[in-house]
Amino acid sequence: MKKLLGILVLGLLLIPTLAMSGTFKDEEGKFGLKTKKSGFKFHLNFMDHNDYNFQYIKDKTKARAGKYFQRFEVRDGDCFGDEGWSDCDTNRERVEFSTRPEQRPKKNQCYGYSLMLSKDFIDTHPTNTSLGQVHQKGGPTGTAGGLASFPPLIQIDARQGYLFFNWHELSGSATNVIDES
């Protein structure tokens, strides 16, 4: 499989402020990113990662909002797991963060989410390359392949050279997509 490289400018933060305040390791040694003015306290990587998989970079020329952006890089063989799941056993590669506190669906909530892919980015047809997703406690549930499934409310995939926004109805512009349902 070819090297996957994506620069992900990610703001899973409540608008209008997309500010981050630094990295940390929790009591179990898990890598995290503190947030401020977002409705979340932090984002935590529950499965582990290699040093090159995630960088928190100060460069306001590349950051869409603020001074910092997050850079994710996934290479062939970058699989991780936890007590309930193994990407290595299921032929998957990923780096991801989960937010705390979890937000239950109530009233309107706004999320900012920006992506910038490197010029040498290649998606890995015929598999899906998920570039980001938003899950929510109390959101959709079901089964997939006989296993419990908790599909995201929002998912952005790269397939066959195109980006797919897996939402039910979209409006806005090419640079500012809005779900008005």
CB 54 within 8 A of CB 72: yes
pLDDT, residue 11, reads: 32
CB 13 within 8 A of CB 21: no
Walk along the chain (181 residues) and give the pLDDT tens digit of each residue. 333 323 232 333 222 233 445 888 888 888 888 887 677 888 888 777 888 888 888 999 988 888 888 888 888 888 888 788 888 888 888 888 888 877 776 777 777 767 888 888 888 777 778 888 887 777 777 777 777 777 777 788 888 888 887 764 445 555 555 555 4
Q: Which two tokens stand for residue 4?
A: 């996957």
CB 117 within 8 A of CB 99: no
Q: Which domain holds residue 22?
A: 4-178
pLDDT, residue 105, reads: 66
Which residue matches tokens 């306001």? Answer: 60
Where does residue 31 rank: exposed (0-12), middle (13-18), buried (19+ CB within 10 A)? Answer: buried
pLDDT, residue 134, reads: 80
Query: How far apart, in Å, are the Cα atoms of 136 and each of 12, 45, 86, 94, 101?
Result: 12, 17, 22, 19, 11
Closest CA to 102 of 142, 43, 149: 43
pLDDT, residue 40, reads: 81
Other CB atoms within a 10 A radius of the CB of residue 164 amount to 14
pLDDT, residue 177, reads: 58
The number of distinct structural domains making up the chain is: 1
- Specify the amino acid at residue 83: E
pLDDT, residue 82, reads: 79
